[in-house]
Structure 1
Amino acid sequence: MRAFPILALALAALMSCPVMAASPPPAETEDAAAPLPAWEQLTQAQRDALIAPLRTRWNDNPDQRARMYEHAQRWQDMTPEQRKRAHRGMKRWKHMDPEQREQARALFQKMRGMSKEDRDELRRQWHAMTPEQRRQWVEQNPPAEH
């Protein structure tokens, strides 16, 4: 089995759960700016350290395995620009409070089946709403349980 699909699965799973994100393995040199080696040059201990959080998450959540694998496949198919946007979105998500997350889920689910024009219109309306109007909108358009 090639290492890339395993690494992609590990990265996608870690990225989909910011709390699980691990720090990169230590560089071989003292220079902190030195680039990290390619997968093939990592030691087995470094590879294990990268994959350990995924292994635990995979084993602890058998009902989520298909979703985790699907995320890994999608991550592999993304362009570098799409990956950058995904990282920005994950960073924003990490800093949202629970109410903001619920609103984001509701908006995402509502926009999912809309045309670009309809999404743009809803986005324009959303930005014009007061916080109370947004809460009411989410009550009328609740996100599905996650």
Structure 2
Amino acid sequence: MKIRFPLMLLGLLAASQAFAQSPTATALPEWDKLTPAQRETLLAPIRDRWNSEPEAREHMLEHAQRWQRMTPEQRKQARRGVKRFERMNPEQREQARVLYRHMAELPAEQRKQLQEQWRQMTPEQRRAWILKNAPDQPPPEAKP
């Protein structure tokens, strides 16, 4: 299963990179003062995905609503998490996915305990934990 990042975050990230490459990146106005062409550049990826993936619309809307409820600090943490995930190798990403799914179901105190246990595990112990707790899917291929 492929984890999808919050749609708005990805769309805005892509658009911000395009704007950042222009010499006027620091002079860009607030949303209300963007030109129609600039707004279209930002919104087109979202509209295209919305139209091409009707089965994902509910998920996309939930992500957008959750993003709106986040504080600026929570949004900053989310962006850092996305960047960290992007820098992970495939094995680390799979570990993160399994760990996240498992932790999402735990009460806060148990989640905190698992986080502490995870920090203390060796790489071999982590792999064993992942294999034990992964949803019903074949284990990742072993590296030679």
Bucket of the pairwise TM-score, normalised by the shorter protein? 0.7 to 0.9
Q: For 2:26, which of 30, 33, 40 is the aligned residue?
A: 33
Q: For 2:80, which of 81, 88, 97 is the aligned residue?
A: 88
- In the alignment, which residue of structure 2 is the partner of 1:113? 105
Separation (CA, whole Å) in 1 of partners of 2:25 and 2:41: 19
Separation (CA, whole Å) in 2 of partners of 1:56 and 1:31: 27
- Is 1:140 the counterpart of 2:132? The answer is yes
Q: CA deviation at 1:21?
A: 3.4
Matches within 5 A, 1:52-91: 52-91=44-83
Aligned pairs, how many? 130
- In the alignment, which residue of structure 1 is the partner of 2:43? 51
- Aligned residues with identical type, % of pairs: 52
For 1:117, the aligned partner's letter is E
The structure whose RCO (Cα within 8 Å, separation 6+) is larger is 1
CA RMSD of aligned residues (A): 2.5
In structure 2, the CA distance between the partners of 1:30 and 1:115, relative to structure 1 (3 Å rule), is: closer
1:55-107 residue CA offsets vs partner (Å, 9 max, x unmatched): 12112211111100110011111111111111111111111112111111111
Gaps of 5+ in 2: 1-5, 138-144
Structure 1 residue ranges, 4+ long, deviating more than 6 angstroms after superposition:
none
Contact 1:102-1:143 within 8 A present in 2 as well: no
Gaps of 5+ in 1: 1-11
